[in-house]
């Protein structure tokens, strides 16, 4: 089962209750925060409801290990002190559902910077399929995460 990276890019102020509830369930509180979820039908249903305020796609191992090294925090707000090779091995096992982030005490919340050179040409109010920013972006999420880390 693949893992999806979900990034909150717009505020939920003035949006419907379903959107606020979906963001709460996934744990997305702050702008530019990222969580990793399984690609299951339940999560897909939540993502279709909150699609107008988030962007998401399948994360690869290289991007996941970079995300864990730079932005991963242990539950008491300390940085991870593992080597790059250990993180790389863990990220491969995590993507294969052999290990969980909680096994080594990492929070499933990553606070990111706004992307370098901004979002796509048409901005945050247009879906990714029309060259905007929100919605499903597939493997292109790895490029966006690279610019946000």
pTM strictly above 0.75:
yes
**Spatial separation of the C-alpha atoms in residues 41 and 94, rounded to whole Å:** 19
Collapsing DSSP to helix, strand or coil, 20 comes out as helix
**Of the candidates 5, 3, 131, the residue with the CA atom closest to the CA atom of residue 67:** 5
| 34-74: pLDDT as tens digits | 999 999 999 999 999 999 999 999 999 999 999 998 888 88
**Spatial separation of the C-alpha atoms in residues 115 and 133, rounded to whole Å:** 11
Q: Is the pLDDT of residue 2 over 90?
A: no
Q: Is the pLDDT of residue 77 over 80?
A: no
pLDDT of residue 1: 64
Ordered by where they begin, the domains of the chain are 3-148 (3.30.1390.20)
**CA separation, residue 82 to residues 30, 49, 71 (Å):** 27, 37, 13
**Spatial separation of the C-alpha atoms in residues 6 and 86, rounded to whole Å:** 24
pLDDT of residue 73: 85
Tokens for 89? 């091995």
| 100-144: pLDDT as tens digits | 888 888 888 999 999 998 888 888 889 998 998 999 999 999 999
């Amino acid at each position: 089962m693949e893992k999806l990276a979900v990034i909150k890019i717009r505020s939920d102020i003035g949006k419907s209750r379903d959107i606020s509830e979906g963001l709460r369930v996934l744990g997305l509180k702050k702008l530019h925060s990222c969580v990793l979820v399984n690609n299951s039908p339940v999560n897909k249903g939540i993502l279709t409801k909150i699609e107008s305020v988030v962007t998401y796609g399948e994360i690869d191992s290289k991007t996941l290990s970079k995300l864990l090294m730079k932005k991963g925090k242990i539950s008491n707000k300390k940085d991870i002190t593992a080597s790059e090779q250990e993180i790389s091995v863990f990220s491969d096992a995590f993507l294969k559902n052999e290990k969980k982030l909680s096994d080594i005490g990492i929070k499933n919340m990553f606070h990111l910077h706004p992307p370098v050179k901004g979002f796509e040409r048409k901005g945050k109010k247009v879906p990714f399929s029309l060259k905007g920013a929100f919605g499903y972006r597939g493997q292109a999420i790895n490029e966006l995460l690279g610019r946000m880390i």
